[in-house]
Structure 1
């Protein structure tokens, strides 16, 4: 506006007021605005670009009046009502001055100040309160913005200017897309559009960098509508609250919750360490390695570490990069840490440490470990935490956490979080270590109760497998045994104590010992099970009286057992079962069948009899004994398991070991829930050339003839060195049978791994060895037999008894 050529009209004021304190506007003769001051913009809300060129009547009073603007201004001196951009009205002191522009055309200079009188159109707005409100908005430390319907900024608080790095003037008229990153812009602008459409406030969260040089932050954004007096949404107000600390605190709590939920799911040291690595990578670190003392993997009690170089075994590792390329060793390998390295110091002191790769300790470590230093440079590792895994006051190992993709270094809060995770992991690792030790102890006990080496015998070829349960239920009471019997026979035994744990294993050991003792007496299978049933009943009674309620011991003591005797001379089997699955027999042509045994009660039930079944088998047949864990699994019932077992047994196999392995792999799940005992025996038969039998008359004169028969047969077998011993033993046994027994009397020689001499008679009275006095004529026969043989004994038969003795032949062959 050209103020030099302005010619004031006569008016009551007498001179031009001070324009620096007033809102001023210039209006040409057509009534259009040609000048607009900053004070006018503050008074009426219209920016300069929107005011200039518009009709003054519509701009000032909201009127569409046209015509001579000079006439329109007549009477407009003094107090008048003006219209603000947002629609509300205000009273103002208005003065108009006529003047000429540079071309000599008429124009008007309008000057206005807000009136102190209340306006009829709105509530009073004291100027002092408006100034206070303006100051409060401008100085607000929270990021606060006001946007118009075109999503352009109208105002910005001091907090917004600080966070965005822009002044309010620089922000005004710009959209969010001109200031913030794209992923933030879309969320914010969509929220503002919804507020304009619905008139309802919106709340949402965004994260990112408000400006390029700033750190990534998290914001809780609130967008609210600003309405005019008519209730129409004219603008929206956006307030952003920095919730970065709250966000990370919540993330730490979620991480700790996940650690508690996911870690320690198995009582395995390696798996527990891997669970910690899996949870922490990507949320706290970019790479993590966990190294533990080697003794933990064996369940041995760890000892506090000493100063010096330490060797730790890598238990687990994980990375945000596929293939974990940051690692210098693989899980299971041993890593040697120099004495001065942070992991070695951490193991010795039990204290965590936080490092940058430029720290003296890290640089010294890299000098002594060039391979690890190359990894640091290759992946741009910049921040490292070394955390001890401590439980019960002992440092079990160390965890090394590294950042290379995440640009922010670890801080003290990250260190506290890592310590908490490591503390929980250490407890889980120690529990796993203690479980490993207890399980190793239990396994050692159980295996010590099982046969360490099967006794030598020639009746059957044997393969066996024992698979302990891989569950938290503990060890079971399954067992097997191969017991040589008199007369070249062999007993095959499989049993199962119901339940799990050390109690079941200890009971299994007692039963196995009892079976061996009863087998030495040469009891028939059904009688042996009767005595074993009595033993289990007595054991249960003892445990009932010695029970401790705090130990929560189950008092029911029940076991199953299958006892089978095979005679290679007669090629016949005799078996009896006590609640046990039936044995399977596979003929040489691979046809398999299950023996139909009478269903006997389990051991410990008592009061019910046991029955035996006898059948003949062909040489080369397979006898398969097993516990129910092999055929009764969660995937199927006992009937289907037996059918599957039969199918697998009918498949040709090269060896007994191959058959056993095939059954274990095909019938059992990866983690069996019950113990499994499997015993497979291939039968052999003694041919007629290995057995000699003679019927003897009950006459003392027959003793000499018996000696002669034995001598000739031993000569045929090439057993000259034991001929004298055999003649002596036969002479004594035959003499006793004639003198104290009854007919029929039979002498049998069996050439096996030992020379077996058997004399049977019709009397059931068993002889007893006694020490003869000096002048006694008898009582020395059995003493001589015991002195010259490896062992001797009595076997009761259906029609009498048999006295047998075994003479060692040192594997001589004819």
Structure 2
């Protein structure tokens, strides 16, 4: 083993060694007095030819005399010399030899000179090899360790010695496990043993390296190794090259964490989720515990003020097995006392590094009880990073270490600050989205109906679910509008886009529908007027508005249905909207084939109405596209799932509505959804009385008589006089101006309804009669005696109707 160490620590084979070098001895006159066998082989002169002759005459060419004389002078002056000289062999060829000359003092005899020489190229190679070997062991920054076949250390260079804090003598004869912690040593030795057994070199393999004398400091080294063999192929051991790549490894890991942060932070527009994403990335990558404290206004989506207000804990994560202890130790303060790292961070808007955190230091802001918990936990290092975006402070991030033994460094602070900067932008985007979402949601809730009054024609249930994620509130709406003659209008619509603009457009369309419904227009006429309105709204946009943030291109779909409980007919028209679903009283579901119609806003295209006869206790389901369209299925699948949720025996409508939502919608739908269910009712025959009167002068008198008898039958004798006046006036007008048969209908519900229909399309108008006029006061009288009155037009003729409050 000692011989191996000596061989490794000296040099490659020396060209000046005995047996390899040319040896020549000269006396003081320069005569050759000694001539070696290697000299005979290399230069060709025999002993008889060389001994006794002057070396200059024997070995030096005339051209080289000046060079040789200069070398001789230096040799005599200094007692020795080393260099390259041109030497002539027996054939007259000039050879470059590296020559070492040294004076040899002989007692009682004159001094002699010993010349040892070797070919110059061998000397040069030897010098290079020796310099490389010397450099590897003394000046190389790459660590070098040589092991025998049992993996005992034969020698190490200075780089390894400096890395391990030991000397070469201390390392010799020991194993790696004597200097590294067990886990790291076992890993390295297993890899070296594999190199010994297979002969396959190990190239630049990174791994952890922790010394026994400093186990808390983790280094990373890149290890390469190769097997050593002698000329006969016998294994001599393994040489290991070690480079400390701790800084490079940490920089690469930080870069990887930054890439990870860019992918994982800000995936949603939710403040709490974004804060939690930040702590998930930072623990345990940077810290053992991370907290995010935000201003209260941030979570509420409110406008931020320059003044720093109270904070609240938005996210927390710890590697400790008892996070509640950690939470208690670090505190959950709403405000931070002055001079604490957190207060300094908020005041200066700059990150603060406390590499050596002392819980007993009063400036850290811990009370005595928390100080003891923090000391027990082992908190030793702290970083505080501000969350700032667009010039405003959103909160701060606190990063703690108590498991990892290394304190935070400036590079850690830089990385944490980068995390905070990225998270702050995402949190502020989420705050601004929250503000817009809350505003749009509040607007929409104000625009949508909250509760519908009881109506004799239908029983209704409804649901509205705003979209989750970035989509937010949209323009879906629904409505139940009482109409004349005990009828009711059922409406559902969907405005293109999301946000405040969509909600505002929805409000305008809903108002327009109410106005058109009051005119008692047919469903297809209502959609035609809505189409004109949407077209005008689109024209109101300034050029380029459709590309501006938050602006929407105006467009909508709508379904308008009118149900008559007397005839049990439901007249439906739709503008690009999904068809309604009809649930029969026996629970069977159908999707009527109705004319689709174009979406609102295309302009100039006709709409068609269709009549559905609905038995009593049928359910009409109106909905928007978001209910049946999903990321994982198409429209047909959605319609099948809707039909399955609606089908079945009689159930309360609220239960049916919830069943539909549970079956078709995820926790947070990607599009807003409106659902309106209406269970039909019909009026009993005893509640309706209808007569057809001929257009003749006796019609008003007959109408009064029929009215009086019917009101007496209903027990409404107190209303006979008033109702006779109303009926008489309406029938008289119809007889006088319309011609043709006149239909009189009385309906008793929560109000008394009187309807007079005739074939004329001319509408009566209320006007103020002058004192000299003989007529014109009839409609004024009707208006004074009724709660409401109006006219509705059909495809043929019109109906004038009135409503009177019942007694009591």
The TM-score range, normalised by the shorter chain, is 0.7 to 0.9
Matched, 1:649 2:650: no
Counterparts of 2:718 and 2:373 in 1: how far apart (Å)? 77
Equivalent position to 1:385, from 376, 383, 386: 383
Residue 478 of structure 2: aligned partner: 480
Q: How does 1:434-449 map to 2 (within 5 A)?
A: 434-449=432-447
Equivalent position to 1:610, from 604, 607, 612: 607
Residue 147 of structure 1: aligned partner: 146
CA separation of 1:800 and 1:142: change in aligned 2, threshold 3 A: closer
RMSD: 4.2
Counterparts of 2:285 and 2:201 in 1: how far apart (Å)? 36
Contact between 1:760 and 1:803, CA under 8 Å: does it hold in 2? yes
Please state whether the residue corresponding to 1:185 is helix, strand or coil. helix
Q: How does 1:83-232 map to 2 (within 5 A)?
A: 117-118=116-117, 123-124=122-123, 139-140=138-139, 142=141, 144-150=143-149, 151-189=151-189, 190-191=191-192, 194=195, 198=199, 202-213=203-214, 215-223=217-225
Residue 662 of structure 1: aligned partner: 659
CA separation of 1:655 and 1:346: change in aligned 2, threshold 3 A: farther
Contact between 2:499 and 2:550, CA under 8 Å: does it hold in 1? no
* Alpha-carbon distance, 1:430 to partner: 0.3
Q: How does 1:338-737 map to 2 (within 5 A)?
A: 338-340=336-338, 342-344=341-343, 346-355=345-354, 356-359=356-359, 365-367=365-367, 370=369, 372-373=370-371, 375-454=373-452, 456-473=454-471, 475-541=473-539, 543=541, 546-548=543-545, 550-551=547-548, 558-652=555-649, 654-696=651-693, 698=695, 703=700, 706-707=703-704, 709-710=706-707, 713-714=710-711, 717=714, 719=716, 725-737=722-734
Residue 312 of structure 1: aligned partner: 311
Counterparts of 2:244 and 2:427 in 1: how far apart (Å)? 39
Residue 292 of structure 1: aligned partner: 294
* Alpha-carbon distance, 1:417 to partner: 1.9
* Alpha-carbon distance, 1:683 to partner: 1.1
Residue 792 of structure 1: aligned partner: 789
Counterparts of 1:756 and 1:640 in 2: how far apart (Å)? 45
* Alpha-carbon distance, 1:698 to partner: 4.3
* Alpha-carbon distance, 1:393 to partner: 1.9
Moved more, 400-409 or 204-213: 204-213
* Alpha-carbon distance, 1:358 to partner: 1.9
Please state whether the residue corresponding to 1:597 is helix, strand or coil. coil
Matched, 1:279 2:284: no
Please state whether the residue corresponding to 2:789 is helix, strand or coil. strand
Counterparts of 2:243 and 2:742 in 1: how far apart (Å)? 109
Moved more, 385-394 or 794-803: 794-803
Please state whether the residue corresponding to 1:216 is helix, strand or coil. strand
CA separation of 1:379 and 1:708: change in aligned 2, threshold 3 A: farther
Moved more, 179-188 or 257-266: 179-188
Please state whether the residue corresponding to 1:651 is helix, strand or coil. coil
Contact between 2:344 and 2:352, CA under 8 Å: does it hold in 1? no
* Alpha-carbon distance, 1:398 to partner: 1.9
CA separation of 1:244 and 1:262: change in aligned 2, threshold 3 A: same
CA offsets 1:123-154 (integer angstroms, 9 cap, x no match): 45999999988986665474744425423333
* Alpha-carbon distance, 1:367 to partner: 1.3
CA offsets 1:679-715 (integer angstroms, 9 cap, x no match): 1001122223322334445455654564465455445
* Alpha-carbon distance, 1:666 to partner: 0.5
The normalised TM-score by structure 2 is 0.77
Equivalent position to 1:748, from 745, 758, 767: 745
* Alpha-carbon distance, 1:767 to partner: 0.5
* Alpha-carbon distance, 1:768 to partner: 0.9
- Structure 2 runs not aligned, ≥5 long: 11-17, 21-33, 39-99, 103-113
* Alpha-carbon distance, 1:488 to partner: 0.8
* Alpha-carbon distance, 1:273 to partner: 0.9
Q: How does 1:35-54 map to 2 (within 5 A)?
A: none
CA separation of 1:400 and 1:806: change in aligned 2, threshold 3 A: same
Residue 259 of structure 1: aligned partner: 261
CA separation of 1:322 and 1:660: change in aligned 2, threshold 3 A: farther
Contact between 1:196 and 1:233, CA under 8 Å: does it hold in 2? no
Contact between 1:196 and 1:236, CA under 8 Å: does it hold in 2? no
* Alpha-carbon distance, 1:758 to partner: 1.8
Contact between 1:442 and 1:502, CA under 8 Å: does it hold in 2? yes
